[in-house]
Amino acid sequence: MCATHIFVSDDLSRLDELVVRLLRQRRSPSYRRLLLRGMPEGVGIAGLRVLRTVERIAAGGSTPTVKDVAVDHAIEQSTASRAVQAMTAAGLITKSTCGDDQRKARLDLTEAGRDALAQATANRQELLAQITSGWHDDDLARLIELMGRLTEGYSAELAARR
């Protein structure tokens, strides 16, 4: 059996470190506080993730369910059910029976749920606007292009390894 070795350049090492640092910063308490500013009581990061999942699946033309939340978050269905229940109790999601399968519960965002997501998006974009305020338009456009390529590359490689 032959081991495959990949040569890692200094540039790849620096990129790897920057990706790790960015992820770490997005998990920091100060980032979470900024993201959650203006959120309804009881909505945390996990709740926002549930709301985003429901929003994304519905926007894709599918009917979001608790199972979808579990799969999307790589968690047990019972854990997803508790997270959905918390967002339902907060008035951000409604649950109704799927017409085609009475055993499934369809999830929908309420107006308050859509407002919470809009507030979280505004909070993130405000931070990005502050960070990039002195940047040239060309630099920002290039970063967007490269981040898109990096994100798509991660998606493709991880999908191929499932």
Mean of the per-residue pLDDT values for the chain?
91
Q: How confident is the model at residue 5 (pLDDT cuts 50, 70, 90)?
A: low
| Nearby residues of 123 by Cβ (< 8 Å), 6 or more positions away | 34, 35, 36, 37, 38
pTM equals 0.81
CA distance linking residue 33 with residue 25, whole number of Å: 12
Q: How confident is the model at residue 49 (pLDDT cuts 50, 70, 90)?
A: very high
102 or 133: which leads in pLDDT: 133
Residue found under tokens 């699946």: 57
Residue 26 has pLDDT above 70, yes or no: yes
Question: For 133, what's the count of Cα atoms within 13 Å in the CB-facing half-sphere?
Answer: 6
Task: Sketch out the chain's domains with CATH numbers.
Answer: 12-131 (1.10.10.10)
pLDDT per residue as tens digits for the range 98-130: 666 667 789 999 999 999 999 999 999 999 999
Helix, strand or coil for residue 118? helix
